[in-house]
Chain A
Amino acid sequence: MKRLLIIIGKIIVKVLRLMHRNAGNLPGIILWHLSRHKAVSMFKVDCPIIAVTGTNGKTSVTNCIAQLFERSGKKIIINKEGNNLDTGICSLLLRHCDMSGKVRADYLILETDESHVPVVYSQLKLDTLVVLNFFRDQLDRNGEMETLIQKINGFCKTFEGNLILNGDDPNTARLGRANPKNKNVKYFHAEPYAFATQKIFEASEGRFCPFCGEALEYDYYQYSHIGKFICKKCGFGNYEPYITAKDIDLEKPVFTADGHTYSPKLNSIYNVYNMTAVAAAAKLYGIEQKITDGVINSYTVKNGRMENFMLGDRKATLNLAKNPVGANMTLRVMNEMQGEKELLFVLNDNVADGLDVSWIYDINFSIFERVTRVVTSGTRAYDIAVRIKTAGYDPANIVVRPDLDEAVEELARTEGRKFVIANYTAVQPTRSALKRYIAKHGGNK
């Protein structure tokens, strides 16, 4: 039966290829139905599997860990297109397996959606699970944060492989207690950076100890609810870090971990956490230090993550913000920049965005400085316009253009520095609209 499913799956991949269609998800969806929802159970994987999950930073960390092994000369398989549900992973493995379903590689590095960790790894043996953070994101799809954490916690109760956890996020650190018998729990941690605060700055989860209900106490917050926390009653948060990022200086940017100095390309505290997770994986798998240096120091992101465009002679920076944490960080970066600027905010409410847009009220727009005009676009262009107006911004300076091409035209009409924020499904259409503008009016990317 399994063999038959593999053959059917491979034929579907072939047919889609012949039709010049992307075989990213569809073969997996078909096999999911045929296999009674056990889409990855028919594969034989003998090599170690490393999975990366969490709300923010999955793609970055997955790519970097893959590079660690690739640069060490190993054969790896990675879900590069971000197809991170069981069906996407099934499609990926279909392309890399032989007729018996055997997958040949040295390592599988799989970005895995938070809600799909138990589904996928009850069928495939997992060597290491990296959990980055849990933020309020796409809540309506997953029900609630707590339900999501419970799901992964349930999986961790019987998991005996390596668990690399963000020790500064109580939502992820608690997974370290799910299976008291697991000796392979490793926490990564970061010392405070220059903008760490004593008080919490943005809306957040995880105020209470999940074990005894006591309010958690923080030495410092790095951003949102990420920081050094402890439960004074039961001691939750009191752990020995496996690896610690120290001497973080984002101006340069540099940080040290395990006595080794890194000079990453990206200057955000998020990136320091992501790269500390990468360094933890490198340490665990005994990667040569030279290779780890190369990966961490060269990593940079495209695809709408602080990506620069020239609209004629006007510089525009596009950033993806799929939740308040990401949007608040972009606003901080925008504010710290001298001179006047204009903002285009593109807000969609497609299924993958989460249908609920009320998260925009957790964005702190009152910190706007020297923002002379706001253009809004996307399927919920009016919602974001109303939100910015309610924060006290003069509605006379808000222009609503639901059509993206019109919005980009409107943004580029005036001189000066531009910022563009787009949520999840809005990013690629926004990039395309920016590129269309450049093709028509000049500039470059």
Chain B
Amino acid sequence: MKTIKILHMYADMLDLYGDSGNMEVLRFRCKKRGIECQIDKYSIDSDMPDFSSYDLVYIGGGADLEQQHISEDLLKCREGIIKAYRNGTFLFLICGGYQLMGKYYRDADGNDIKGLGLFDYFTVAPNSRRKRCIGNIVIETKITGKAVKVVGFENHGGQTQGIKTPFGKVLYGNGNCSKSEAEGYCEKNVIATYLHGPCLSKNPEISDYMIEYCINRGESEHIALEPLDDTLEKECRQVMLDRLLKK
């Protein structure tokens, strides 16, 4: 049986807004197809893992206070994460996890939290804690090769700038900055986004893109995924698309 190995970083600290649900969705969709999904956890007190041995590394979002706690620890993992990313490990990053892979995060008081600097973008929080991008969001992404509408919920103060390859185009909501056109950041093996919901809960194409990527790592012949019955998930997304886009 094919196995995919996932490293869920800081699960105990970065778990706002049901982001751990993304791991539940991946595990569920693997199980339905007889793919073993091994999810290991890493947190501040853990031993340094071999990041390159994982097919996917996942970091969720957290409150500002928690992000400060982990940023120092994350910097210790810098070499390992960069090496893994270059070896083709998939990086799936939500909200705080997304911000911390950039150059820096400047908080509301003007203090910089150093990012990993893996990507060129950077994030600046507005001076007022009240100014946040909050609400339902719809984006359209082409990461799977086809245009797919993705529905989620954004809740971030930080304004992320300096992005050349966004995850998607904003159809409803804010995106990387207040009322911006682009949302998130992506590469072939990176999805970084502000979408909670959790992000994968009603966007099965995105889950399957990552699973397919992972099971095909190091394979000479392409392995296709068996389709699943996603009636409920698609209906769930459609309800929100009807509500948000057809006004």
Contacts and interface: CB of A to CB of B under 8 A. Distances in A.
A236 B134 CA distance: 33
B13 A140 contact: no
Contacts of B65: 146, 208, 210
A391 B21 CA distance: 9
Contact of A382 (B28, B157, B239): B239
Number of chain A interface residues as a range: 20 to 34
A355 B17 contact: no
B69 A390 contact: no
Interface in B109-144: 129-130, 132, 134-136
Given A356-B17, A361-B18, A208 B66 contact: yes
Contacts of A7: none
A377 B21 CA distance: 21
A119 to B, nearest CB: 14
Contacts of A147: 129
Given A383-B201, A386-B202, A358 B17 contact: yes
A424 B229 CA distance: 32
Contact of A361 (B63, B136, B157, B198): B198
B20 A356 contact: no
B181 interface: no
A143 B135 CA distance: 11
Contacts of A282: none
Contacts of A207: 12-13, 66
A395 B24 contact: no
A358 B19 CA distance: 8
- Chain B interface main SS type: mixed
A385 interface: yes
B49 to A, nearest CB: 20
Interface string B64-79: 1110010000000000
Contacts of A387: 21, 201
**Most-contacted residue by chain A among B65, B155, B198 (CB, 10 A):** B65
Interface of B: 12-13, 15-21, 24-25, 28, 63-66, 69, 129-130, 132, 134-136, 153, 155, 157, 196-198, 201-202, 229, 232-233, 235-236, 239
Interface of A: 136, 139-140, 143-147, 203, 205, 207-208, 210, 213, 355-362, 382-383, 385-387, 389-392, 395, 398, 400
25 contacts: A139-B17, A140-B135, A140-B155, A144-B16, A144-B63, A146-B63, A146-B64, A208-B65, A355-B135, A356-B17, A356-B197, A358-B21, A358-B197, A358-B201, A360-B18, A361-B19, A361-B20, A382-B202, A382-B235, A382-B239, A383-B202, A386-B202, A389-B232, A391-B24, A400-B232
